[in-house]
Amino acid sequence: MIFNEIYSMLAYYLPPKANLIASALATFVLILIVLIATPIILGWVDRKFSARIQSRYGPIYVGKFGLLQNFADVIKLMGKNFVTNQYVDRFSYNLIPILSSALSFLLIALLPFGAPSLTFISLPYNLLFIYILLAFSPLLIIIASWGENNKFAVLGGFRSAAQITTYELALIVTFISIGIVNGSYDIINVIASQSLIWNIIYLPLTAVVFFIGSIAVIERAPFDLPESSQELQAGWRIEYSGLKYGLFMIGDYVKLLAVSILFVSLFLGGWSGAFLPGIIWFWIKTVVALMFLMSLRWSLGRPRIDQLLSIGWKWLLPLSVINLIIVEVMMLI
Amino acid sequence: MNDFTDKLLKAFPNGLKASDGGTIELTDKKKLLKVVERVRKNFDILFMLTVVDRPPNFELNYVFSKYEGRDILILRTLIKHEESIDSITNLFPSADWEEREAYDLFGIKFDGHPNLKRILLPEDWPGHPLRKDFVVTDEIKNWTGLDLKF
Amino acid sequence: MEGRGIELNIGPVHPATHGVLKLVADIEGDTVKNAKVEIGFLHRGKEKIAELRYFNSYFPIVDKLDYVGALNWEILWASTVEKAMNLEINDRVKYIRAVMAEIQRIMSHLVYIGSFGQDLGNLTFFIWALRERELLMDIVEEISGGRLAPMYNRVGGVFYDFTDGIADKINTALSKIEEKVKKEYRAMTYENSLFIMRSKGIGIMGQKVIKENGVTGPNMRASGIKRDLRKDEPYLVYDKVDFEIITENDSDVYARFMVRVREILESIKIIRQLLKDMPKGDAKISAPWIMKVPAGYTLVRHEMSKGEGAMFLVTDGGLKPYRLKIRSPSFYSLQALPLVLEGCKVADAFVITASMDPVMGEVDR
User: Is residue A137 located within the same domain as residue A269?
Assistant: yes
Are B121 and C299 in contact (CB < 8 Å)? no
What span, in angstroms and rounded, lies between the C-alpha atoms of C347 and C353?
11
Are C122 and A303 in contact (CB < 8 Å)? no
Centre a 10 Å sphere on the Cβ of residue C262 and count the other Cβ atoms it contains.
19
Query: Each residue of B116-125: pLDDT tens digit?
Result: 888 888 877 7
Q: Where are the domains of chain C?
A: 6-359
Are C233 and B70 in contact (CB < 8 Å)? yes
Angle between helices C91-119 and C70-85 (to 10 degrees): 150
Residue A306, chain C, CB below 8 Å: the answer is yes
- Print the domain residue range for A151: 85-332
Residue C225, chain B, CB below 8 Å: the answer is yes
Query: Each residue of B31-83: pLDDT tens digit?
Result: 778 888 878 888 888 888 888 888 888 888 888 888 887 778 888 888 888 88
User: Is residue A241 located within the same domain as residue A121?
Assistant: yes
Chain B: touching chains (3 or more CB pairs < 8 Å): C
What span, in angstroms and rounded, lies between the C-alpha atoms of A281 and A273?
6
- Give residue C329's pLDDT: 87
Q: Where are the domains of chain B?
A: 2-141
* Pairs of residues, one from chain B and one from chain C, whose beta carbons lie less than 8 Å apart: 73
Of C208, C207, C270, C213, the closest CA to residue C236 belongs to C270
Output DSSP code: residue C345: B
Range with top average pLDDT, A188-192, A323-327, B102-106: B102-106
Of all residues in chain A, the one with the smallest CA distance to C132 is A55
Chain C residues whose beta carbon lies within 8 Å of the beta carbon of residue B118: 40
Long-range contacts of A228-232 (CB under 8 A, 24+ apart): A228/A156, A228/A302, A228/C121, A228/C347, A229/C15, A230/C15, A230/C16, A230/C118, A230/C119, A230/C120, A230/C121, A230/C350, A231/C16, A231/C119, A231/C346, A231/C347, A231/C349, A231/C350, A232/A152, A232/A153, A232/A155, A232/A156, A232/A159
What span, in angstroms and rounded, lies between the C-alpha atoms of C271 and C263?
12
**Percent over 70 (pLDDT), chain A:** 97
Are A301 and C346 in contact (CB < 8 Å)? no
Are C47 and B130 in contact (CB < 8 Å)? yes
Are B68 and C47 in contact (CB < 8 Å)? no
Are B120 and C39 in contact (CB < 8 Å)? yes
Are A224 and C197 in contact (CB < 8 Å)? no
Residues B36/B89, Cβ–Cβ less than 8 Å:
no
Segment A33-37 mean pLDDT: 79
Segment B79-98 mean pLDDT: 84
Are A54 and C15 in contact (CB < 8 Å)? no
Mutate to test the interface with C, among A304, A305, A315 (most CBs of C within 10 A): A304
- Give residue B148's pLDDT: 55
ipTM: 0.84
Of B63, B69, B96, the CB nearest to C312: B63
Segment A299-323 mean pLDDT: 80
Residues in Cβ contact with B10 at an 8 Å cutoff, skipping those fewer than 6 apart: none
Of all residues in chain C, the one with the smallest CA distance to B102 is C325
* Pairs of residues, one from chain A and one from chain C, whose beta carbons lie less than 8 Å apart: 82
- Give residue A255's pLDDT: 84
Mutate to test the interface with C, among B20, B52, B100 (most CBs of C within 10 A): B52
How close C244 comes to chain A (CA, Å)?
Answer: 31
Chain B residues whose beta carbon lies within 8 Å of the beta carbon of residue C310: 47-48, 63
Mutate to test the interface with C, among A50, A300, A302, A308 (most CBs of C within 10 A): A300
User: Is residue A49 located within the same domain as residue A156?
Assistant: no
Chain B residues whose beta carbon lies within 8 Å of the beta carbon of residue C45: 129
Are A225 and C117 in contact (CB < 8 Å)? no
Are C314 and B68 in contact (CB < 8 Å)? no
Chain C residues whose beta carbon lies within 8 Å of the beta carbon of residue B50: 312, 314, 323, 325
Question: pLDDT tens digits, chain C, 365 residues: what are they?
Answer: 355 677 777 777 766 667 788 888 888 777 888 888 888 888 888 888 888 888 888 888 888 888 888 888 888 888 888 888 888 888 888 888 888 888 888 988 888 888 888 777 778 888 888 888 888 888 888 888 888 888 888 888 888 888 888 888 888 888 888 888 888 888 777 787 788 888 888 888 888 888 888 888 888 888 888 888 888 888 888 888 888 888 888 888 888 888 888 888 888 888 888 888 888 887 777 778 888 888 888 888 888 888 888 888 888 888 888 888 888 888 888 888 888 888 888 778 888 888 888 888 888 88
User: Is residue A237 located within the same domain as residue A96?
Assistant: yes
How close A48 comes to chain C (CA, Å)?
Answer: 13
Residue C331, chain B, CB below 8 Å: the answer is yes
Of B20, B90, B22, B21, the closest CA to residue B8 belongs to B22
Q: Looking at domain C6-359, which CATH architecture does it have?
A: Orthogonal Bundle (1.10)
Output DSSP code: residue A302: P
Query: Each residue of A246-257: pLDDT tens digit?
Result: 888 888 888 888
Chain C residues whose beta carbon lies within 8 Å of the beta carbon of residue B96: 335
Q: Which of A58, A79, A100 is the last residue of a domain?
A: A79
How close B19 comes to chain C (CA, Å)?
Answer: 12
Mean pLDDT check: name the lowest of A314-318, B26-30, C141-145, C359-363: B26-30
Residue A170, chain C, CB below 8 Å: the answer is no
Are C211 and B63 in contact (CB < 8 Å)? no
Query: Each residue of A260-300: pLDDT tens digit?
Result: 888 888 888 777 777 777 778 888 888 888 888 888 878 77
- Give residue B147's pLDDT: 64
Query: Each residue of A198-248: pLDDT tens digit?
Result: 877 777 788 888 888 888 877 777 777 766 666 666 677 777 877 888 888
- Give residue C1's pLDDT: 39
Mutate to test the interface with C, among A228, A230, A296 (most CBs of C within 10 A): A230
Q: What is the CATH number of domain B2-141?
A: 3.30.460.80
The full DSSP string for A146-159 is: HHHT-HHHHHHHHH
User: Is residue A66 located within the same domain as residue A104?
Assistant: no
Q: Which of A79, A111, A132 is the last residue of a domain?
A: A79
What span, in angstroms and rounded, lies between the C-alpha atoms of C197 and A94?
38
Q: Which of A28, A47, A79 is the last residue of a domain?
A: A79
Q: Give the number of domains in chain A.
A: 2
Q: Taking 80 as the threshold, does the pLDDT of residue B19 lie above it?
A: no
User: Is residue A96 located within the same domain as residue A219?
Assistant: yes
Segment A21-33 mean pLDDT: 83
How close B47 comes to chain C (CA, Å)?
Answer: 7
Structure pTM?
0.85
Residue type, C320: K
